[in-house]
Structure 1
Amino acid sequence: MNMSTDVKLRLIGPVVLFLFGTIFFRINIYFEWPLPEIIGFNTIALVAGFSCWQIGRWLVRTVQKRFPGLQRTQTRLLILLLLFPVMVNVCVFLRHSLHTLLRDKPFWPDLLDYTYSAGIQIFYCCVYIAIYEGIYLFQQWRHTYEEKEHLLKTQWQARFDTLKSQVNPHFLFNSLNTLSALIAENPKRAEAFVEEMSTVYRYLLQTNDRELTTLRTELAFIHSYFHLLKTRYGTGLALNVAVPDEHQDTLLPPLTLQMLIENAVKHNVILTEQPLHISIESTNDGRLVVRNNLQRRAVRVESNKVGLSNIASKYRLLSQPNPTIEEAGNYFSVTLPLISTHDTPLIR
């Protein structure tokens, strides 16, 4: 709720409730009481109405801050239900205290007066909760809906980018050039290159309909993918993989490692005398760190900057923590959460 709407609601709401109460609860006083009594009673009703509105607003919004989000709606309502008698009685005694000070009524209300006032305040407190919790739920629902639409749009963009990578003419052109040179120089290496190339494209074509794959499968693909890169760049490129067996069957979105390696190769200098080192390591707390040394190209490479954001979007769609991106000193690293097979049924 923006500030302007909140201020209007706090000013207009108590007046509307005052008019409602006047029409349905105390219309008789305008025919039975003298004018000074009517003015005094209405002044107390308005002051108490504004004060109780602020109390109700504060209480509901405090509970919302402590237990935010749609998923905690039941918890919030339960807490508000437990606090409801307290809120009603605070409003009853605030109203009665004003009557005591301004109209010389007894300090303690009698049972009839207390019952009458409590009935009115129960209705009013229900209105406070309904208004502020209703607005909050609508805003949360709208935010969740907009976020879901954004993530779905990002997911389709990611799938489109994956599809483009499957038929990437630049990568295919470089691979074919490398293969052409190998055929003449070293037929056995050319044969191995063709096998790895077919493995890479087979994996690329199989990933469009998968949300998750095992780290073991992804690393096997990376082995073939890196073989193509290594054949092209030689000693200018090095890869170190340190993932213990207990992490091999954890899950991650397919092609995540390929995107990160491709990003490192695309934006860094790769020379025999200035090699690019890429490492893939798992941590004890179940995360995967992909790191490379930084040696930026002198000519900035054009980038649409969607690779890293697409990876982050995939993790959000899977309700997983966001990857952590860090550039410190001479290294660039991305830390990926590894998903346990017990946490999701999405793998197919």
Structure 2
Amino acid sequence: MNSYKDRTLRLIGPLVVFMIGSLFFRLNIYFEHDLPFIIRFQSIAIIYGYICWNLSRWVILTIQKRYPGFHRTRQRLKYIALAFPLLVHIAYFLRYFTHLYINDQPIGWPTLADYTYTTGIQIFYHCIYVGVYEGLYVFEQWKIVYYEREKLLNIQWQERFDSLKSQINPHFLFNSLNSLSSLIREQPEQAEKFLDEMSNVYRYLLRNNEQELVSLQTELQFVESYFHLLKTRYGESIQLKLENLSGYEQYLLPPLTLQILLENAVKHNIILKDQPLVIQIYVEKGYLVVQNNVQKKNLKVVSNKVGLNNIITKYQLLKQPEPVIESDAVFFIIRIPLIGNEYIYTKIIDIAHQH
């Protein structure tokens, strides 16, 4: 609790408690006694209100200093509970004997009715004291724990995100080198061209894989370059159709998403001149749709679904809607949510708040 808030509470708090007590517990005094008695009675009430407020404050802050932190709340409450009856009775007897002295009455023990009634009032007051200081302290400690946990979670998610990105580079390189090896054996004249295009694509991959998001326009430019590699190998047996993409170029998605999906389609389907693999990319209802005709290979392809799982996990880490996968005997379709620029603005604001 900052010093300004503490000073404000110490100044205003007892006055508020005094007014509540006068309204709900001591209103009869104004109708049953004369003005001098009312002045004496209420003066004692407000003076000891400040004394008891600050005494309770000192005890609670001392316990908080001895047992700090959100995780020690139970310990603090235990010691506050032990100190609570003592504080209540100190407040009761201070007021009781002061009233006897001011009203020139003989010293004696209170009646049971007076004791229970006034003690009940003091219990109410001290619940307010404890609620104010321990309640505010617990809330502030909870906020610290919450933001630290959020910060740690963001760090963990970022590490997982970076780990996912690092998996893509070796995966892409391995498949590209396999393709190059096949070309060297089967089509040596195409191998040099393939190597040049692979260098361009890999340069792009290294540069953009460090980013969390890229624009659809950037991703499409990369996919066209990547498709040249596939086209070099498969010729007219593979086709790529880009449709209905105008106006969506500045929307965002994780880098290399389309490359993974194209690679997935190539891996699992027959690609022949009389059975061409047709891949379509278009936008529908805010989703980037990647669709290919299903021509499953006769030999079962071993798949651990790393590529698709990487895409889904990236969207989870970005706290965005997950991609939707639809598959039947004719088409395999995956719908990728396009992320608007407001995501960037929201993240900037979150980072600013954390600092």
Normalised-by-shorter TM-score class: 0.5 to 0.7
- Give deviations 1:221-264, integer Å, cap 9, x for gaps: 21121222233334543322224321123333321211122123
The answer to whether structure 1 residue 150 and structure 2 residue 138 are counterparts is no
Are 1:178 and 2:179 an aligned pair?
no
Aligned-partner residue type, residue 165 of structure 2: R
Q: Select the structure of larger CA radius of gyration.
A: 2
Question: 2:290 maps to which residue?
Answer: 290
Q: In the TM superposition, what is the alpha-carbon distance from 1:219 to its structure 2 partner? A: 1.1
Q: SS state of the match for residue 300, structure 2?
A: coil
SS of corresponding position for 2:153: helix
Q: Please give the alpha-carbon distance, in whole angstroms, between the structure 2 residues aligned to 1:224 and 1:269.
A: 22
Distance, in Å, in 1 between the alignment partners of 2:333 and 2:245 is 19
Q: Is residue 2:127 matched to residue 1:121? A: yes
Instruction: Using the aligned pairs only, state the percent identity.
Output: 31
Matched, 1:140 2:146: yes
CA contact (8 A) 1:290 1:334 kept: yes
TM-fit CA distance, 1:295: 4.9
Kept in 2, the 8 Å contact 1:155–1:310? The answer is no
Match of 2:308 in 1: 308
Q: Deviations over 1:34-55 (max 9, x none)?
A: 9x959xx8xxxxxxxxxxxxxx
Q: Residue 246 and residue 23 in structure 1: after superposition, are their counterparts in 2 closer, same or farther (change >3 A)?
A: same
Change (3 A) 1:278 1:24: same
**Which residue of 1 is the match for residue 85 of structure 2?**
22
Unmatched 5+ stretches in structure 1: 1-8, 42-102
Aligned to 2:231: 230
Hey, what's the Cα distance between the residues in 2 that align with 1:212 and 1:17?
52
Structure 2: stretches of 5+ with no match in the other structure: 1-72, 97-107, 348-355
CA distance in 2, matches of 1:328, 1:170: 25
Aligned to 1:337: 337
Residue in structure 2 matched with residue 267 of structure 1 by the alignment? 268
1:29–1:159: structure 2 CA closer, same or farther, 3 Å change rule?
Answer: same
What's the CA shift for 1:343? 4.5
2:263 aligned counterpart, secondary structure = helix
Matches within 5 A, 1:244-255: 244-255=245-256
Classify the secondary structure of the residue corresponding to 1:25: helix
Q: Deviations over 1:55-82 (max 9, x none)?
A: xxxxxxxxxxxxxxxxxxxxxxxxxxxx
Describe the superposition over 1:78-128 as per-residue Cα deviations: whole angstroms up to 9, x where unpaired: xxxxxxxxxxxxxxxxxxxxxxxxx6x6xxx9xx986x5553232233367
Number of positions where the alignment pairs a residue of Structure 1 with one of Structure 2: 261
2:322 corresponds to which letter in structure 1?
P
Structure 1 residues 29 and 198: CA distance shift in structure 2, 3 A: closer
Q: Indicate the SS of the match to 2:281.
A: strand
| Cα distance in 2 for residues equivalent to 1:343 and 1:147 | 19
2:202 is paired with a residue whose SS is helix
**Could you list the per-position Cα deviations for residues 150-190 of structure 1 after superposition, in whole angstroms to 9, with x for gaps in the alignment?**
32222331232233145x23422313432554445xxxx66
Please give the secondary structure, in 1, of the residue aligned with 2:250.
Answer: coil
Q: Partners in 1 of 2:303 and 2:80 — Cα distance? A: 61
What secondary structure does 2:279 align onto? Answer: strand
| RMSD of equivalent CA atoms | 4.3
Residue range with higher mean Cα deviation, 225-234 or 173-182: 173-182
TM-score normalised according to structure 1 size: 0.58
Q: Give the letter aligned to residue 82 of structure 2.
A: L
The answer for the alignment partner of 2:207 in structure 1 is 206
CA contact (8 A) 1:154 1:313 kept: no
- Whether the 8 Å CA contact 1:252–1:339 is kept in 2: the answer is yes
Deviations 1:323-342 (A, max 9, x none): 32323434443333333446
